[in-house]
Structure 1
Amino acid sequence: MLSERPRLESVNEPLTAKPAAEQTKADESRHQHELHALIDLTAALGASTDIDISLRVLLERMVWSFGAVGGECRLLATPDDSNLLAQHGLDPGDEATALRRAAVRELSEHAFRRREPLYLGDLTDTAHRARRELMRSTGFRALLFVPLLNEQEPLGMLTLYYREPREFSADERDLLFAIGKQLGANIVRSRLYEAERGRADTLHRSYTLLVSLSHAVANLQDLTSADEWFRRLLKELLRRRLHSALLVPDPDESSWRLRGISLQPSTLQLIEKYLGFDLLTTRLRVEQVPRLLPTIRAGTPLVLSNVPLIAHHWLPQVPQRQLDHVLLLAGFVRQRERPLVLLPLRIDGNIEGLLLLWGGHIKREDLPAFTVFAHHIANALRALRLREQVDLAHERLRRLTTQVMTIQEEERARISRELHDEAGQALTALKIELSLLAHELPAESPTVQQRMRETLSQVDDLLAAIRRMAHEMHPPALETLGLSATLEGYCEMFGQRTRISLDYQAESPRDLSPSASIALYRILQEALTNVARHAEATHVEVALTCDDHSLTLSVQDDGRGFDAQQQAGGLGLAGMRERIDAIGGWLQVESELDVGTTLTVHVPLPSERNDG
C-alpha cells in the first residue's frame, strides 16, 4: 500500500541512519520542489498509453531529482532475463550494458522478493564479482533498485547509478515506492492498450480488405459467362496487389487443372520453361500435399506459410533449383514469409474450384476476411449459375415460341391456300352456275328472279369474306410486294372495314427475313385489332421507318388509353412481345388515359445482328 513506508536496504544489511549533511534552507526548499514536481510528473504519466515515452521522460527526471549519474529501465522478458527499454546518462555500449545487467540480476531477485526498493551503498563491500567489475569499469560506487510492480507481480526494474553513496529521506523512500507501483500500473495499462489497438488494427485491416474484395466481386455482377467472370476476377484481384490462380477439379476430384492465373504471359512462359511442362494442361495431384484434400472438402479456407515445401509436395518431379526460380518469378521471396491463402469454392455442397491468393501484404490475421470473401464468391457464382439457367430456359422458350409460331404460320398458309384455292374456286363456280340459272328463269317470275339476285349477292359477300380471311391468315403480298406495300394494303382494308381514319407513312425498308416480316405484319394486325375493339379512337397513324441499325414500326391512336403497367400482359401485348423477342427486337408501349396509345416496335437489321 502507498501508505506503507518501505525500507531502503542494501543487499547484505539494512541501511543504518547516518548523520545528515548540513544543508541550507534554500537547498531543502529546492529539493522539496523537485520531489513535488516528480510526483506531479509521475501522476501525469499515469494517463499516458505510450510506455516508452513515459519511461524516458520519468527516468530523465528521476536521475536529475535524486542526484544520480545515470539510470536505466528494464522489463522482464523471462524470470531470469530482461530487455532494456530506456536509459539516461549511461554508456550505451554492449559491454557496459552487459556489465550493468549482470550487476543488478541478483539485486533484482532480492527486490522482487521483498517487493520494495533496494539500495546498495558501497559496491566495494561486496563479494559479487559482477558488481566489483562494474565499479572498476565505470566508477559507480552505489546503485538504487526500484522494482516495477503490479499487484505485487514483478514486471521490471528501474536502476539509478551513483558515484558517491547517498542517503534517502522518508519522503524520498515513499516516493520511490509509489513510482514503482505507478510505473507497474502504466506498463499493464500500456500492454492492454497495445493489445486492444492491435485487435482494432486487425479488425480495421480485415474490414478494409473485405470491402476491397467485396467491391471486386460486385464489379462482376453484370457478367453472364463463368469463364469471363473468373478471368475478370483475377484481374480485379491483381489491381488490389493480390496474385491469384484458380484450380478446378476433375469429376472425381483426384486431380486438378489450372483454369487461370494472374501472372503476365511472358512470366508464365518463363515459369513453364523452368518447370518443363504446360501449366494450363497439366493435372496436379492435391493428395500429394498433406491434409490439403480433407481441408478442401471441408470447405475451410487455409493459410500456408511454408510455400516452398508445399510446392515441392505438389511438384515432386521438378528439381529444387528450378522450383526456387519458379517461386521467385511467381512473387515468393525466400527471405520473407509470404503466405499462400487457399479458398475452397463450394456451391450447394459441391467443390467448384480452389482459389489461390498470395501477395506481399497478406497476413495470417486476414483469414477471416478471406473466409467471408470465399462466401461472397460462392454466392456470386450461385447467382451466375442461376442466371445462366434462366438465360438457357429463356433461350429454350424463345426457340420453342419460334417453332410454335413457324408451325402456326405454316398452318395458316395452308388454310389460306385451301380457302383461296378450294373454297374460293367452289364459290366462284357456284356463282357462275347461279348466274346462268338466273338467265333461264322465266320473265313472268319476278319474285324468283329477285331471290336469285339476293343469292348471288350473298355469294359475292361470302367470296369476299373468304378472300379477306385468306389474306389475313397469310398475306401472299409479303413474298411478292414486300413488307411496306403489304402493311399499306392492310391499313387501307382496316380503314374501309372500321370507318376509322388512318394515315400510313413508310420509308423503303431494307430486306428483312421472312420471319421478321411476318412478325411485323402480325403485330400490326394485333395492334389495329386492339384499336378497333378497345380504344374508341377516331384516328390512327402508322409509320414504318428505318436507319442503318434498326427498323421501327409505330402505331399511334387518339383513343381513351389505358394503364400500361396494369395491362402489360393484356390486350395481346404478351403475344406481341413473344413475336418480337423471337426475332431479337423489343416492344415499347406508352399510353395515357383520355389521350391515346403509342406502340413502337424496334427490330435490329440483319447486319447489326451478324456483327453482334
Structure 2
Amino acid sequence: MSSLSDNPDLASLPDLQADKLTAFQALGIAASKPLPNEETFLQLMEIIGRHYGWVKGRLISLRDTRIEGKHELNWVHPTKFDSDLHDQTWNNELVPIICRQRDGGIIFNHESEEGLELYFPERKPGIEAYVGVPLLVNGECSATVEFFAAETIADLPNELDVLTHGVALMGLVVERGDAQARLRESERRFRGLFDQSVQLIALLKPDGTVIDINNTALEFVPGEYDQIIGKKFWEASLWPPLVDGHLDLETAVQRAGDGQIIRFETSVTGKKSETVVLDLTIKAVRNEGGEAVLLVAEGREITKLHAALQELRQTEQKLGEAQRIANLGHWEYSFKDGQATYSDIVWELFALEPQVVQGSAEQFINRIYPDDLSDLQRAITRSIRTGRPFEHQFRFIRDDESIGMVYTAGNTVMDEAGMPLRMTGIIQDISGRRQLEDSLAQSVERLSGLNLIGQIVATSNDLPAIYQSILSVGRKLLNSDTMVLFLHEGAELYVAAVDEEDRLNLDGIRISEHDGVAGNVWRAKSAVWLTGEDCREQRSSRLAAATSYEPESIIGVPVQWQDQFLGVLEVTHEHDHAFGDGDVSMMQSIANWIAIAIGKITQHETLQRRLQESEEIAAIGRALSQTLEPQVILDMIVNSAHDLVPRSDWAVIHILRGRPERLDPAAFAGDVEDLSDYVIDRNEGIAGLAIDEGRVINVGDTRIDPRSSTYARSTGLRSLLVAPIQSRNRALGTVSLHCMLPNAFTVEDERLLTILAAQAGLSIENTQLFDSQRRARLVAEMQRERLRVLADRIVTAQEEERLRISRELHDEAGQALTSLKISLDLIRSGLPPGLDTLNDRLADLANLTGNTMETLRTLAHDLRPPGLDAFGLNVALEGLCHDFAARTQLSVHYSGRDVPGLSTTTALSIYRFAQEALTNIAKHAEPQQVELNLTKEDKAMKLVIADDGKGFIIDQDSRVSNGIGLMSMQERIDLVGGSLEIVTAPNEGVRLTAVVPIESQ
C-alpha cells in the first residue's frame, strides 16, 4: 500500500489537517502522478483522511474503475486508528443510497442523527460519525468513497470541500486514462492509413530531416526504417542526387520549403533489384501564418507508363528515320492561333531556315509554282469544309530557280462542334521518281495514316472517338470494306467499334471467345489471314446471321498491351486478292496503336481516379481537423463515395441508433430524393451481415442473392456494395453504394469504400472524444476558479497581517527604542569626568540601539512597502531595487513603466515575487550585476529579473527539489493566473520571466 511518506512531493508538505489549501495542493500532486489507479486512489484517500483526522476509509467499486480488478480498497489512519477498530464493518446497503446523492453525500453523527445506529448497530467504541460520497465517471456513479470518524462531522457549507475535491479527482483520473487510450487508438489508425497508402510518402522537417516514411516507400529505398529516420533527405540515399540532371536534391528541398512544388521523374532500384520509374513531388505544408512546418515527399510508380511512352518515342524515332530515307516530311497547321509546324525534311526540301519563317506558311506559299497554287488551295479548302483527307501534287521553285515536284496529303481534324481545329499532313519530294509514284504513294499514305493515328492517340482521351478515328483511317489505308474492333469481356468478344462501307449493323454484337475468325485469333494469340472458302467456313455464325455480307478476304490480329491481350482487330474485303503481304504488318501496327490508346487512357483514368480519391480523402481529413460536426463529415463522405464511383446511382450512410438498434439513414447522395424510410434492422440483409463480419461485401445481383433485404428487391436495386463503419471494434453503422445494373462495382470500389468508412468512424469517434474532453475542461475550469478565489483571500489576509505587524513595529517598538536612545545620550552627558569606561559602554549601547531602530524600520518597510499603495507597483519596485542595492552593494539596474488596472492582490504578489527573487540572488548567486525590467505586452504584464551570477541546474520535472524559494515564487505567480519561466545554467546566471494577465484582474 502506497502512502504519503512514499511520495517525496507529498511528504514534504506541511500538516494536511491544518491547511485546506495544502490539502488541495497534495490532492493535485497525487492525481497528476502517472501511477496505477490503485496507488493514486489510496494516496488521495490518505490525504483526505489525514486532513480531517478520520480513522478509517474505503472505496467500493460498482463497475470498472481501473483499480486492477479489485472491488474494494481500504485505508486506515497511520496514527489515530485504534487496533480495536479493525473489526468495524461497513454496510453495503448504503452504496446505492450514496450513488443517488449526485450533488453531495450523506453524513451520520452519533449525537444528532439515528442513521449511525440504524446502519451500524454494532458500531465499535470510538466511531462517532460516518460520511459517504459518490465517485462519478462521465456523469455516472462508478464507486463510493466512505469514511469513519472519531469525532462529529460538521454539516456546514464547504466543510467537505477537500473530500468532494479528492473524489472528483479520482473520477478525472479514470476519465484521463480513458482519453489517453482513445488517443493511442486514434494514432494507431493514422499509422495504419499512412503505412497502407499505395503512394510513396516521406515526411520531412523544413530543414530536410526525415521524420517518417511509409512502408510503400521502403520498398524502393536501400536500408531499413531506423537507418533513414533522422538523416537529411539528400543524405538518406532515397533517390539519385540530381533532379532533372541539373538541380541537386538539397537545393530542391530548400526550394520546396520556400514555396515551390518540386516534381521530377527518376529511376531507382527496388529491394528485389528491379529497376522502377518513380514520379516524385516535394511540397510544403504551411501553418496559418504561411510558415512551412512540414515537407511531404510523395510519389507513385510509373514504370509501365514510362515504358509505354518510351516505346512511343522509339516508334516516332523510327517513323522519323523512315521519313528521312523516303525524303518525306510532315506538317501541321493550327486554326486556333494560325501557327504552322514543319519537320526538318520540309525545311530542307524548300531550302528555308526554321528560325526565319518558324510558325508561318507564307514563305512556303511563295515557293509554290503559281499555276499550281489555285488547285492546291481548292483541295485544302475542300478538306477544311468537309473534314475529309486530301492529297495533291504540285510544283515548287527551288533556290536555283529549277522546278521540282512534291506530293502532299493531309487531313482536317474537327472539334466537337464540327469546326476545323487543325490540319496535319505529309509532303514528299517526287522529282525524278514518277515511275515509283504508285508504290511511294501507298507508303506515304500509310506512314501518314500511322502518323495521324499516333497524333489522334496522343491528343485525345475519348476512347470511343479514338476507336472510330483509327478504324476510319485504317480502313482507308487498306482499302477494305470493313474494319472491326472486338474487345474481350468475360468469355465473350464484343464489337466495340466498326468502320464499314455499307451499314451492316454490327455495333454491340457479342460472340463467344471461341467463335469465328476473331475467336481463332484470340485462342492462337497471333495473326490469321484467310481467303476464299476458308473465310466462309471459319466465319462466325452469329456475325453471318446478322448481315448478308460475305467477305472473301479476312485478316485478324490480336490487340495486345504489354503482356495483356485485350481483343482482336479484324479487316474484311469482298475480293479474295484484296490484301498483300504488307497488310498483315500494317494491321498489327494499327492494332498496336489501339493497344497504346487503351493502355494510355486506362492508366490516365486510373491516375485521375487516384488523384481525385486523394483529393477527396485529403479534403475529408482537413474537415476532420477543422470541424467536430459529424453531419458535415458524413455528407462529405457520402458525396465523395457517389462522385468517385461513376457506376453508383446513389450512396447512403446508415448509423446504428435506438433500442433495439436499427440502421437509420444519416446522409445520402445521388439520384434519390428521400431515404427516410430506408431503415434496416440490425441483423437484416447485406448491411447487417457486413456489420457482423466486419468487412466490405460486394453483391453483384440482389435478385439472385438470398442475403438481400426486402427493401433492396422492392426498389429494383441490382448491385450493392456495403462497408461497415467501426470504431475500436464497435459497430457504428454502414456506408453503401447502389446501382440499378448488375455487377457494377469492382475491387477498387471496395478499397475506396473501406477507406471512406474508416474516415466516417474517425469522425464519429472524434465527436465523442471532444464531448468528453469538453466536460473535463469545464470541471477543471471550475476548480481553477475556486482556487483563484481562495488564493485571493489568502493573499489579502497575509498582507493585512503584514500591515498590522509593520505598524506595530514602527509605532510601538520604534518609539520605545527612540526613547531609550535619547535616555542613554542624556545619561552620557550627565556623567562626571573620569568615568570613561562607563561612557564608552553607554556609547556602544546607544549605537546598538540606533542600529536596532534601523533594522526595525527596514523590516517594517519590507513587510508593507508604503510606496506600493501610494504610487503603484512601478515606483515600489524601483524603491525596492534602490534599497537592495544600498544594503548589498550590488549594481542593480531597474527599468519599468506604470501598469494601470492591476488589482491589489496582483501588485502585492508581483512585489513579493521580486522581493524574494532579490533575496535569493543576494544569498546564492554571487552576481556582479542585477537587472529588473517591468513591461506591458497586449493584455499581460511581464517582469524580467536577471543576474550574471553562478547559476544552477534546474530540474524541470520537480522545482521543489531546487529549493523552497523557487517553489514559493512559482506559487505566487500561479495565484494570480500567471506563468513563470526559469532559464539558467552553471556559470551563466539566472533569468526569471513572470507573465501575468491583466484582463483577468
Aligned residues of 2:723 and 2:754 also touching (Cα < 8 A)? no
> Counterparts of 1:103-502 in structure 2 under 5 Å?
116-120=528-532, 134-135=547-548, 140=549, 142-149=551-558, 155-162=567-574, 166-168=575-577, 172-179=579-586, 191-216=598-623, 220=626, 229-231=627-629, 234=632, 290-291=688-689, 293-294=691-692, 344-346=726-728, 366-367=752-753, 370=756, 421=808, 439=827, 443=832, 445-475=835-865, 483=873, 486-487=876-877, 490-491=880-881, 493-494=883-884, 496-498=886-888
Amino acid at match of 1:583: V
The residue that corresponds to 2:208 in the other structure is none
Structure 1 position 175, deviation (Å): 3.6
Deviations 1:392-429 (A, max 9, x none): 99998999899789868866875785687589957866
Structure 1 position 455, deviation (Å): 2.5
Task: Please state whether the residue corresponding to 1:497 is helix, strand or coil.
Answer: helix
Task: Please state whether the residue corresponding to 1:230 is helix, strand or coil.
Answer: coil
Distance of aligned partners of 1:147 and 1:416 in 2 relative to their CA distance in 1, 3 Å threshold: same
Distance of aligned partners of 1:496 and 1:70 in 2 relative to their CA distance in 1, 3 Å threshold: closer
What is the distance in 1 between the residues matched to 2:654 and 2:536? 73
Structure 1 position 160, deviation (Å): 2.5
> Counterparts of 1:536-547 in structure 2 under 5 Å?
536-537=928-929
Distance of aligned partners of 1:108 and 1:373 in 2 relative to their CA distance in 1, 3 Å threshold: closer
Distance of aligned partners of 1:507 and 1:357 in 2 relative to their CA distance in 1, 3 Å threshold: farther
Amino acid at match of 2:912: R
* 2:901 is equivalent to residue 510 of structure 1: yes
What is the distance in 2 between the residues matched to 1:197 and 1:73? 21
> Counterparts of 1:12-161 in structure 2 under 5 Å?
32-33=439-440, 36=443, 40=447, 56=468, 59-60=471-472, 63-64=475-476, 67-77=479-489, 82-91=494-503, 94=505, 116-120=528-532, 134-135=547-548, 140=549, 142-149=551-558, 155-161=567-573
Deviations 1:525-567 (A, max 9, x none): 24655786655349x7876x879x757576799x869999999
Structure 1 position 512, deviation (Å): 1.0
Distance of aligned partners of 1:194 and 1:541 in 2 relative to their CA distance in 1, 3 Å threshold: closer
Greater mean deviation of Cα atoms: 109-118 or 380-389: 380-389
Task: Please state whether the residue corresponding to 2:568 is helix, strand or coil.
Answer: strand
Distance of aligned partners of 1:178 and 1:55 in 2 relative to their CA distance in 1, 3 Å threshold: farther
Amino acid at match of 1:525: Q
Amino acid at match of 2:900: P
Structure 1 position 522, deviation (Å): 1.8
What is the distance in 1 between the residues matched to 2:757 and 2:586? 47
Distance of aligned partners of 1:61 and 1:517 in 2 relative to their CA distance in 1, 3 Å threshold: closer
Distance of aligned partners of 1:552 and 1:355 in 2 relative to their CA distance in 1, 3 Å threshold: farther
Structure 1 position 366, deviation (Å): 3.2
Which TM-score applies when normalising by structure 1?
0.54
Task: Please state whether the residue corresponding to 1:366 is helix, strand or coil.
Answer: helix
Structure 1 position 511, deviation (Å): 5.2
Structure 1 position 203, deviation (Å): 3.2
* 2:915 is equivalent to residue 525 of structure 1: yes
Task: Please state whether the residue corresponding to 2:844 is helix, strand or coil.
Answer: helix
Aligned residues of 2:530 and 2:553 also touching (Cα < 8 A)? yes
Q: Report the count of equivalent residues.
A: 507
Gaps in structure 1 of 5+ consecutive residues? 1-25, 221-228, 264-269, 276-283, 325-332
What is the distance in 1 between the residues matched to 2:942 and 2:470? 89
Deviations 1:369-410 (A, max 9, x none): 648868997999999999999999999899989978986886
What is the distance in 2 between the residues matched to 1:257 and 1:481? 71
What is the distance in 2 between the residues matched to 1:449 and 1:249? 101
Task: Please state whether the residue corresponding to 1:158 is helix, strand or coil.
Answer: strand
Cα RMSD (Å): 7.1
Distance of aligned partners of 1:89 and 1:78 in 2 relative to their CA distance in 1, 3 Å threshold: farther
Deviations 1:293-340 (A, max 9, x none): 5567xxx7x69999x9xxxx9xx9xx99xxx9xxxxxxxx99999988
Structure 1 position 290, deviation (Å): 0.9
What is the distance in 2 between the residues matched to 1:239 and 1:110? 48
What is the distance in 1 between the residues matched to 2:656 and 2:844? 83
Task: Please state whether the residue corresponding to 1:457 is helix, strand or coil.
Answer: helix
Task: Please state whether the residue corresponding to 1:290 is helix, strand or coil.
Answer: helix
What is the distance in 2 between the residues matched to 1:356 and 1:472? 72
Deviations 1:265-295 (A, max 9, x none): xxxxx999x78xxxxxxxx996675145556
Structure 1 position 58, deviation (Å): 5.7
Greater Rg over alpha carbons, structure: 1
Amino acid at match of 1:366: L
What is the distance in 2 between the residues matched to 1:100 and 1:242? 35
Task: Please state whether the residue corresponding to 2:840 is helix, strand or coil.
Answer: helix
Structure 1 position 117, deviation (Å): 2.6
Structure having the higher strand fraction is: 2
Aligned residues of 2:569 and 2:591 also touching (Cα < 8 A)? no
Task: Please state whether the residue corresponding to 2:688 is helix, strand or coil.
Answer: coil
Distance of aligned partners of 1:560 and 1:368 in 2 relative to their CA distance in 1, 3 Å threshold: same
Greater mean deviation of Cα atoms: 385-394 or 40-49: 385-394
Greater mean deviation of Cα atoms: 492-501 or 369-378: 369-378
Greater mean deviation of Cα atoms: 191-200 or 497-506: 497-506
Task: Please state whether the residue corresponding to 2:557 is helix, strand or coil.
Answer: strand
Aligned residues of 1:424 and 1:466 also touching (Cα < 8 A)? no
Identity level (%): 14
Structure 1 position 521, deviation (Å): 1.0
Structure 1 position 196, deviation (Å): 3.9
Aligned residues of 1:424 and 1:463 also touching (Cα < 8 A)? no
Task: Please state whether the residue corresponding to 1:609 is helix, strand or coil.
Answer: coil
What is the distance in 2 between the residues matched to 1:471 and 1:586? 27
What is the distance in 1 between the residues matched to 2:631 and 2:951? 43
Task: Please state whether the residue corresponding to 1:204 is helix, strand or coil.
Answer: helix
Aligned residues of 2:909 and 2:973 also touching (Cα < 8 A)? yes
Task: Please state whether the residue corresponding to 2:851 is helix, strand or coil.
Answer: helix
Aligned residues of 2:558 and 2:591 also touching (Cα < 8 A)? yes
Distance of aligned partners of 1:202 and 1:565 in 2 relative to their CA distance in 1, 3 Å threshold: farther
What is the distance in 1 between the residues matched to 2:490 and 2:732? 47
Task: Please state whether the residue corresponding to 1:509 is helix, strand or coil.
Answer: coil
Structure having the higher helix fraction is: 1
Structure 1 position 141, deviation (Å): 5.9
Distance of aligned partners of 1:178 and 1:407 in 2 relative to their CA distance in 1, 3 Å threshold: same
Structure 1 position 342, deviation (Å): 6.1
Task: Please state whether the residue corresponding to 2:887 is helix, strand or coil.
Answer: helix
What is the distance in 1 between the residues matched to 2:565 and 2:817? 124
Structure 1 position 118, deviation (Å): 2.8
